[in-house]
Amino acid sequence: MSQKTIFEKILQGEIPCKPVYEDEYTYAFNDINPQAPIHVLVIPKTKIVNVALSNENDIEQMGRVLYAAKKVAELTGIAQSGYRLVMNNGENGGQTVYYMHCHVLGGRSLAWPPG
């Protein structure tokens, strides 16, 4: 059996974490190493490793993650000023936790290119 990711431990209550937003399908919480004044991670409650390893069965869940990111932007007050959504995919894409997640970043002007 593979080792649980930190996100699985959060969802199972093994690591305490206060949600910024939660619904039946998603869970959003503050990043422990924020890269902007607002930096929230949105994860699906059903594990998807990453976008590259997703399949047609994951389409609805992936859409729910993006909708939850929109809700996070509204709740944190960055919806009107603008924000960035980032999903790292694989080693060269900067993915460090192999559980799909969306970063919601905002609260300041964000530079381009990002990486």
pLDDT digits (tens, 9 = 90+) for 3-12: 999 999 999 9
How many domains does one find in the chain?
Answer: 1
In a domain, 1, yes or no: no
| Dihedral-angle region of residue 90 (phi above 0 means left; psi in -120 to 50 means alpha; beta otherwise) | left
The domain that contains 92 carries what CATH number? 3.30.428.10
Dmax (CA) for the chain in angstroms is 44
In a domain, 78, yes or no: yes
101 is catalytic: yes
Question: Which domain does 67 fall in, by range?
Answer: 6-106
Helix or strand (DSSP H, E) at 26: strand 26-30
Q: Is the pLDDT of residue 1 over 60?
A: no
In a domain, 83, yes or no: yes
Exactly one of 39, 64, 101, 103 is catalytic; which is it?
101
pLDDT number for residue 113: 83
**Global pTM exceeds 0.75:** yes
